[in-house]
Amino acid sequence: MIELERLSRTFEIGGEPVHALVDVSESIAAGEHVAIMGPSGSGKSTLLHLIGCLDRPTSGSYRFEGREVAGLSEPELDRLRRERFGFVFQAFHLVPRLNATANVELPMVFAGIERAERRRRARQALDAVGLVARAEHRPNELSGGERQRLAIARALAMEPKVMLADEPTGNLDSRSGGVVLDLLDRLHAGGLTVLVVTHDPHVARRADRTVILSDGAIVRRATREELPAALLDWGLGGENPR
């Protein structure tokens, strides 16, 4: 599904090049649950943004479902993002004045989906995350965990093939974080491809496998069983490193 070959991303800061990613090559199959770990500044979020077509690589090849992404126009990239990817971030990015249903419907409005279909999908997505009873509540009337589940519902309503989550439990207490992770597990079990950026070993252990980055390069790949030893090798094996 996702094929990266020698993917690099360089930014210019203060007139100096900063190599956020360097020659990253990786394959992710449809239906996988993959965690991306590494110390701060290792390139985790940059990699997720490139995979989700929120940014373009400086060099290298990115093929999604067999199609080369690097040469797509902005309208083509926008359509790919809208139709194939769901995004969940540490900051929920909800619209405060809109209730839960309207927040879920908002991306569908921009996609030109008819009102009746928007309502159907919104109801279905809210049901999937256990928030139907909170459909008329605004974000400030929801707990942190509920707001994150609402953000997931908004992504689900667009019927993505891949869910990209960047520190989805970073702003949550352990109980609320566990509920969100259980939800992502259920979505993965239903066939959704899930990629999660995390600092937390407990989050990474939910994944089928983990890719570890350092200084913009992949330095280790580990299955769930291999992960504890891999994290200790790279100084990431604490209870909840930040």
Question: Is residue 238 a part of any domain in this protein?
Answer: no
**Residue 9 DSSP SS3:** strand
CA atoms within 13 A of residue 189's CA, in its CB half-sphere: 7
Question: Is residue 184 a part of any domain in this protein?
Answer: yes
Kind of pairing, strands 193-197 and 33-37?
parallel
- From 138, 135, 195, select the one nearest 168 (Cα to Cα): 195
State how far the Cα of 100 lies from the Cα of 150, in Å rounded to an integer: 7
Question: Is residue 242 a part of any domain in this protein?
Answer: no
Question: Is residue 55 a part of any domain in this protein?
Answer: yes
Q: Given pLDDT bands bounded at 50, 70 and 90, which one contains residue 241?
A: very low
| Domain around 63 | 2-233
* Each residue's pLDDT tens digit, 69-85: 988 999 999 999 999 99
Question: Is residue 241 a part of any domain in this protein?
Answer: no
- Helices 115-128 and 100-110, interaxial angle, to 10°? 130
Q: Give me the pLDDT at residue 112, please.
A: 92
Question: Is residue 240 a part of any domain in this protein?
Answer: no
* Each residue's pLDDT tens digit, 80-135: 999 999 999 888 899 999 999 999 999 999 999 999 999 999 999 999 999 999 99
* Percentage of the residues of the chain whose pLDDT score is greater than 90: 88
The pTM assigned to this predicted structure is 0.91
8: enclosing H helix or E strand: strand 2-13
88: exposed, middle or buried (Cβ count in 10 Å: 0-12, 13-18, 19+):
buried
Neighbours of 44 (CB within 10 A): 26
Q: Given pLDDT bands bounded at 50, 70 and 90, which one contains residue 167?
A: very high
* Each residue's pLDDT tens digit, 183-226: 999 999 999 999 999 989 999 999 999 999 999 999 999 999 99
159: exposed, middle or buried (Cβ count in 10 Å: 0-12, 13-18, 19+):
middle
State how far the Cα of 241 lies from the Cα of 109, in Å rounded to an integer: 39
Total count of domains within the chain: 1
Q: What is the CATH number of the domain that holds 53?
A: 3.40.50.300
Question: Is residue 81 a part of any domain in this protein?
Answer: yes
Alpha carbon of 8 to those of 18, 164, 177: distances in Å? 11, 19, 32
